[in-house]
Structure 1
Amino acid sequence: MLNKYKIVKDIPRMLRNFSCSKHLRSEELFVHRDSKDNNPSTPFEFTEANMTRLCAIIQNYPEGCQRSALSAALDIVQRQIGWIPISAMHKVAEILSMPRMRVYEWATFYTMNKRRFRGKFNVKVCVTTPCMLRGSDIILQAVEEATCCCAGSLSADGMFGVDTVQCQGACANAPVIAVDDDYYEDVNVCDVYNIIQTLKCGGIPPWGPQNGRFAAEPITGQTSLCECPPPPGFGIQPDLLQASTPKPGK
């Protein structure tokens, strides 16, 4: 007769752990801690050209609705110095006449806002399901080796910052890495080393699919939409087509 207590005791050993994802804990997205490089006294001023650009954007919105330019303002800050310190958030809040808290909310919600310096080149490796199935773990390892930088940190020379991200929106071209605004799709390990080496040498690697295909077309070529699109009015009943045709002189 089986010992029911022994069976119950052995149940934990029979269960499988189906998850192999890393357990990451971080306060970075929500909490600010003053540091030597990032505090309210950190110097920041818009350049004259960027201030002119921001003012032009603000003019697109009605009086009293200038806070609608918040996203563009933070983007200009990031393009000017590479990241968004809290002093720059305060400057944006002042220019847009809005509470600082509203700027904090925006900056912490959208992960494209870099609240700490991420290197001259921010390399982002997609690790969501499509890229994972196409070997994103190997791609991430290659990126870390090529940049001498672990995910979430900076290289010793400050040239590279490596991050993992969730879905870059180019799933048909997995695996994908992005360097700042440029996407590199259909990458393999050799492509990763070539891209990083080109950046180290001061060049700009050709962006887009790295395997020769155009955009997101099937690797074997187009299988649909191979003919010219039909002209305007295609498939409309003749009576409706005549009714919609303007008469001469009108």
Structure 2
Amino acid sequence: MSACKCEQNLEANYQKLQEVFDKYRNVKGALIPLLQEAQEVFGYLPGDVMKKISQEIGVPFSKTFGVATFYSQFHLKPRGRNIIRMCQGTACHVRGAAKVFDAVSTDLGVGKNETTEDRRYTLETVACLGACGLAPVMMVNDDTHGRLTPDKAVSVVKKYE
């Protein structure tokens, strides 16, 4: 009987991780690039992957974990296929960002920094997206959507299903 697809994908991911290790072997200061590339392979940083990185480059796990939790670019939990970033900056706040966030949150059934069970969406808040003239604003993946109302935001998100 062959392994299930998830096991085959996991095996392929660990093979890619080994290639990343080979790329950075004996490179001083490789911890952050290793974490970045490992996250690219797995979509987040599982604990066992961080332990392997620590072993590979000979640093304590506490240092690897400390770096991974210090920088906001690293994620320790699986994330959704679509990342929704809701702006909470001043211009967006004044123009109703809280209601827009609440509508999307309610529609998806998740709160701030949570991922839907089917891993389609991760809902995050950010301090500013730099599109104040379009407030309230959100990004879905790399697409910016502005002048949102609660209903408009929910309909935009549905387009990414």
* TM-score where L is the length of structure 1: 0.49
User: How many residue pairs get matched?
Assistant: 150
Aligned-residue identity in percent: 21
User: How far apart, in 2, do the equivalents of 1:120 and 1:188 lie?
Assistant: 22
Query: Residue in 1 aligned with 2:87?
Result: 126
Q: Is the 8 A contact 1:147 1:196 kept in 2?
A: no
1:167 aligns with 2:138: no
Out of 158, 180, 184, the position equivalent to 2:144 is: 184
Distance apart, 1:134 and its partner CA: 3.2
Query: Residue in 2 aligned with 1:114?
Result: 75
The Cα offsets for residues 155-185 of structure 1, whole Å up to 9 and x where unpaired, read as 34332222223334x24454332345x2424
RMSD: 3.0
Out of 40, 58, 66, the position equivalent to 1:105 is: 66
CA 1:54–1:142 in 2, change beyond 3 Å: closer, same or farther? farther
Higher relative contact order (CA 8 A, sep 6+): 2
Q: Give unmatched runs, 5+ long, in structure 1.
A: 1-42, 201-250
Q: Is the 8 A contact 1:118 1:162 kept in 2?
A: no
Higher helix share: 2
Q: Is the 8 A contact 1:125 1:165 kept in 2?
A: yes
Which of these two proteins has the greater Rg computed from alpha carbons? 1
Query: Residue in 1 aligned with 2:104?
Result: 143
Out of 76, 93, 112, the position equivalent to 2:37 is: 76
1:196 aligns with 2:153: no
Task: Please list, as runs of the form range in 1=range in 2, the aligned pairs for 1:1-250 lying within 5 A after superposition.
Answer: 46-49=13-16, 51-53=18-20, 55-56=22-23, 58=24, 63=26, 65=28, 67=29, 69-168=30-129, 170-172=130-132, 174-180=135-141, 182-189=142-149, 191-200=152-161
Q: Is the 8 A contact 1:118 1:160 kept in 2?
A: yes
User: How far apart, in 2, do the equivalents of 1:95 and 1:140 lie?
Assistant: 42
* TM-score where L is the length of structure 2: 0.71
